Structure 1
């Protein structure tokens, strides 16, 4: 048996691997874009198949396509969706590179061809006779790459955020809130400009991180509503040529039920086909979160620094040797890994900003890149949150003795006396305490009319950390 078969399309005949589920247009894409080994993300492919499934059922309900063909196409989609699309053998049938035609037509036709092949096999077997299911005329009926691909970009990102990102950020927020409560009564020196400042509760410091993540969660939820307004039904140039008038509402209804997302037709199809602003908006929320997570990772690294010549306020869990030459050195590998993942998200935001500008008239022509990089960022930020919750924040050892010692010697405590003795005198006492290495209360007793008992109460680090507690 030959190791290839001959497939024909509007451009002529082409050899396709004998066991491939795809057809001529996918093969042309493989040959045209052979310089890049990066296929479209699995989550994108899954959403693309979901769109094909819903479109077929919508067209069937509207009596637009043959019922037996529609059932076969739907079953072919289910066959793919019920399997692990990350499986190497299965994904070999979706080989089209990210760096392909800017409309994503090659990916759309890849899905059309695979689904048509599987549906045709099934229906022919059922009917006992050869049946033709055409990638364009049947699987792609009432659709265009120009509305399918931008819709897929949006839905794949929305689905990933709901299915994976939100559980991950909820886990991280819960972990931080638990630690904040646990550390509430541990008082430490606050820092601004990396310099000693007024006391703060370690619990409040951690609670701040939790609040930052919570706000990012709210921002992501806010962007989901626009991200799930899709242009499916716009077909070629946003006018809806060649589709049923009720198709957009019907297909969105089916997708919404299937994916448990509030999916609706957008009010202006061309707006989503020519630009992916909702995707860029959502990525912007992930970018903001990435900056917050980098800040958290850096704070953890600073507090863990030392153990002898750094801050040494806490010790992160030792996970692996830190040096190939320095024995016993252990590094904060999880915060470092997290920071790098988030740095890539920031880089992807620049890429997506450039890509979103690349809409000429009725169509954006960097859609595959937008899909790939937005999903990469969602995956990276999700992984960073899981790593933070499960590894970065687990088994932390707080050096309470060092924190207590440091805060008691902090000359900045004198700030609490500004109302009593004035800024200038307070500054003089702080400088003297620092120069002589003495306790600030001892010097304040000498330099003011306040008693040691009064000073001890006024300069109590815990009261300063919680100035409005009873």
Structure 2
């Protein structure tokens, strides 16, 4: 492979001739040979957007000549569009400020800008990676700015639509099953009856509440540390730089951004990401419960299952045609991974010292990993499981008619002792309680049916509290939380 020799303040180094990175990236590439993980491509593209915004701000403030600013912006926009994804070889495990990735972006953009100006790769003029592309910036404020923007895009561009999709499917199934009565379960034992629809509605509401919490915690991410330079003081930067960058990045982020009045808050620590991970944990735990509930509903512990899993064409390696809750098990593993990621972020946030947290790449990677996994998992759960679940209505009714919990419904009408005696008798004989009550003459068939009909009115079970807003994602509530 041919190479070029490029020289910076630290000496000469051979770099593959076709690549757009420079000396700092090449040294980092050969030094940080730890694992195979790299920051995801969306981080690199956010760096492109951030560098374009920085050049635009420097131009507006009179700090960068128009010809250089134009070349930098054009090159940075190409990075933003993913043109140079293959020219970012730095591993995840690098300096905790993310300096290597920031310099990788500076060098790629500088080389591409110089190429646009008719210069060869490695020329370092007229556009210099530090003097021009990194003007008014430090890795210490640039990388966390990218952390905020990249996470906002992931939450609202990837996770939000996935939550909404699963909620929509759950809502449709809740409406379909709104009048399907079944035995409730508390302590894994029979309890007062509920409707199958109310269970699906409960799951939907769990997602709604989890999403509202996620939106709440993104509000802090709309505040950027850009302009704080190395230690939050803003030395070597213009007082108006941070706000201009925030305004330039708002359209890319999809949210109105603002410069922090205290940049060091988002450089020394990343509390906002700890809070967001807590909200992601709420979503993960909701999905965990949903999947475990589905596994119980579709199990054969009580004989024939009350619900049937959709046939996805997968089976046991030894038992032909055996249908397992494969999708639920995959999603459960995702939820466990998200919980672990959250623990990592919590520990990493406390690992900084004084003016700088030095686990930034790790924090960003784990948060983005959780968001991506949760988004994918919900899409698979919605399409591959929830949408195709089949309710065995006759089986559910059969189980309800023979459940001893019906005695609780009759007790107010025939007395606790009589209800207890008849319930025990029905259970010992394996007969429906209705038959025993008729035989004993405690109630007429008309009275019994009327009693159960009143208790099991599906509209009463599925009634919506007037004070609780409804609708996919509670978008209005989420917006109010974010604005507040």
Same fold (TM over 0.5): yes
How is 1:308-327 mapped onto 2 (pairs within 5 angstroms)? 310=303, 312-327=305-320
Cα 1:253/1:467, change in 2 over 3 Å: closer
Counterpart in the other structure of 2:31 = 32
- The answer to whether 1:16 aligns with 2:10 is no
| Matches of 2:233 and 2:149, distance apart in 1 | 21
Could you tell which deviates more after superposition, 57-66 or 264-273? 264-273
| Matches of 1:241 and 1:449, distance apart in 2 | 87
| Matches of 1:68 and 1:58, distance apart in 2 | 14
Question: What is the aligned residue count?
Answer: 461
Counterpart in the other structure of 2:429 = 436
Equivalent residue for 2:452, pick from 453, 459, 466: 459
8 Å CA contact retained: 1:124, 1:130:
no
Counterpart in the other structure of 2:183 = 189
Superposed displacement of residue 423, structure 1: 4.1
Counterpart in the other structure of 2:210 = 216
| Matches of 1:57 and 1:468, distance apart in 2 | 58
- The answer to whether 1:100 aligns with 2:99 is no
| Matches of 2:447 and 2:313, distance apart in 1 | 50
| Matches of 1:398 and 1:20, distance apart in 2 | 58
How is 1:25-104 mapped onto 2 (pairs within 5 angstroms)? 25-83=24-82, 90-104=84-98
Equivalent residue for 2:333, pick from 340, 349, 358: 340
> What are the ranges of 5 or more consecutive residues in structure 1 without an aligned counterpart?
none
8 Å CA contact retained: 1:303, 1:311:
no
8 Å CA contact retained: 1:407, 1:461:
no
Q: Secondary structure at the match of 2:456?
A: helix
How is 1:397-412 mapped onto 2 (pairs within 5 angstroms)? 397-412=390-405
- The answer to whether 1:142 aligns with 2:141 is no
Superposed displacement of residue 399, structure 1: 1.0
Cα 1:130/1:158, change in 2 over 3 Å: closer
Could you tell which deviates more after superposition, 132-141 or 218-227? 218-227
Superposed displacement of residue 448, structure 1: 7.5
Counterpart in the other structure of 1:133 = 127
| Matches of 1:337 and 1:329, distance apart in 2 | 17
Counterpart in the other structure of 2:367 = 374
Q: What TM-score comes out, normalization by structure 1 length? A: 0.93
Q: What TM-score comes out, normalization by structure 2 length? A: 0.90
Superposed displacement of residue 20, structure 1: 1.2
> What are the ranges of 5 or more consecutive residues in structure 2 without an aligned counterpart?
464-484
Q: Secondary structure at the match of 2:7?
A: strand
- The answer to whether 1:277 aligns with 2:271 is yes
How is 1:359-370 mapped onto 2 (pairs within 5 angstroms)? 359-370=352-363
| Matches of 1:43 and 1:283, distance apart in 2 | 19
Superposed displacement of residue 181, structure 1: 0.8
Cα 1:140/1:314, change in 2 over 3 Å: same
Counterpart in the other structure of 2:420 = 427
Superposed displacement of residue 309, structure 1: 5.7
| Matches of 1:468 and 1:345, distance apart in 2 | 33
| Matches of 1:131 and 1:108, distance apart in 2 | 19
CA distances 1:213-246 after superposition (whole Å, capped 9, x unpaired): 1111211221221111111111110011111111
8 Å CA contact retained: 1:8, 1:14:
yes
| Matches of 2:417 and 2:271, distance apart in 1 | 54
Query: Could you say what the CA RMSD is over the residues aligned between the two structures, in angstroms?
Result: 2.2
Cα 1:349/1:423, change in 2 over 3 Å: farther
Counterpart in the other structure of 2:349 = 356
Superposed displacement of residue 176, structure 1: 1.0
